[in-house]
Amino acid sequence: MLGRLRVGAVDGPLELAVAEDGRGGRHLLLAHGFTGAKEDFTAHLGTFAAAGWHAVAPDLRGHGASDAPDDEGAYDLALLAGDLLALADALGWESFVLLGHSMGGMVAQVAALAAPERLEALILMDTGPGPVLVDRHLADLSVDVVRSGGMALLGEVVSSLPDGSPLDTTAARRLRQTCASPLGGDDFEASWAAFGDAKLHAASPAMYAAMVPAMLDQVDRSEALAGLVVPTLVLVGEHDALFLDDSRRLAAAVPDARLEIIGGAGHNPQHEAPEAWARVLLGFLADVARPAPTAGGDR
């Protein structure tokens, strides 16, 4: 089911577009990555619902169909973390399991450190505890491109790069040859290209320009995470060179965290190895799930 929810964000109310499935007292919130969208998880919401979870995947602010302030000052990791907590409030959830992918995993860490009492468990997927180690010159250049020509121009520039994205792994290339994206279609390559373009073009230029330096200049949270007492799963695709070592650092930082490396997957294991990814998540969720209430006011 698709919808929109008005949330009381830290800097004022805003509306977030959400996809959800399931009902009951077990709550799972899934936060996508940079220039991603709720559609990165919609294919799996029914699986979680069948296992007894009320699963909700939002478009983060500045992404997809959610509100997108024009001011670059309206975007940072703390504000996005506040949005997730406010969304849980709007859903009537006192506590929940939080999954964050890539940038969403960084946001999830900030949310967990700010309000650990709200989390029943934390799932950090293909992400890291500190600054993202990419070519700073190219990153700054991409911000200049977006400020001058918007997301469409950025898409043209990225597609012309000879080496492509650092997240374009062998797993991603295999995926594009073997099945369609969530958009469907018989031409698999075209389907994934259209899916990526749709998410990129729906992203806010102000969000992009603000969040690139926010991710590259963020403080390392390893020391702070050492004090986090929340059941934590860290999972990463074996071919995700950008975040494989960072995922190991995350698992070492969080007390008693479980590390799972998804074979045959890159940066997007929910797409590239969906059965293995879902199996790992459902196993972890079964271990940490609180008994569902027999009655209550869950949405």
Q: Identify whether 162 is part of a domain.
A: no
Q: Identify whether 68 is part of a domain.
A: yes
Q: Identify whether 72 is part of a domain.
A: yes
pLDDT for residue 21: 97
User: Does residue 162 surpass a pLDDT of 70?
Assistant: no
Neighbours of 171 (CB within 10 A): 23
Q: Identify whether 22 is part of a domain.
A: yes
Token pair of 44 as six digits:
């799996």
Q: What is the pTM of this model?
A: 0.94
pLDDT for residue 127: 98
Q: What angle do CA 170, 175, 181 make, to 5 degrees?
A: 145
Contact 31, 98 (CB under 8 A): yes
User: Does residue 17 surpass a pLDDT of 80?
Assistant: yes
- DSSP string for residues in 44-111: HHHHHHHTT-EEEEEPPTTSTTS---S-GGG--HHHHHHHHHHHHHHHT-SSEEEEEETHHHHHHHHH
CA–CA distances in Å: residue 243 to residues 6, 105, 199, 225, 267:
33, 11, 21, 17, 8
- Give the structural domain span for 15: 2-130+219-288
User: Does residue 164 surpass a pLDDT of 90?
Assistant: no
Q: CA-based Rg of the chain, rounded to a whole angstrom? A: 18
Q: Identify whether 178 is part of a domain.
A: no
Neighbours of 241 (CB within 10 A): 13
User: Please, which pLDDT band fits residue 44 given cuts at 50, 70 and 90?
Assistant: very high
Supply the CATH number for residue 266's domain.
Answer: 3.40.50.1820
User: How many structural domains comprise the chain?
Assistant: 1
- Rounded CA-CA distance 69/210 in Å is 11
Q: Which carries the bigger pLDDT value, residue 159 or residue 176?
A: 176
Q: Give the residue-averaged pLDDT of 27-32.
A: 98
User: Does residue 235 surpass a pLDDT of 90?
Assistant: yes
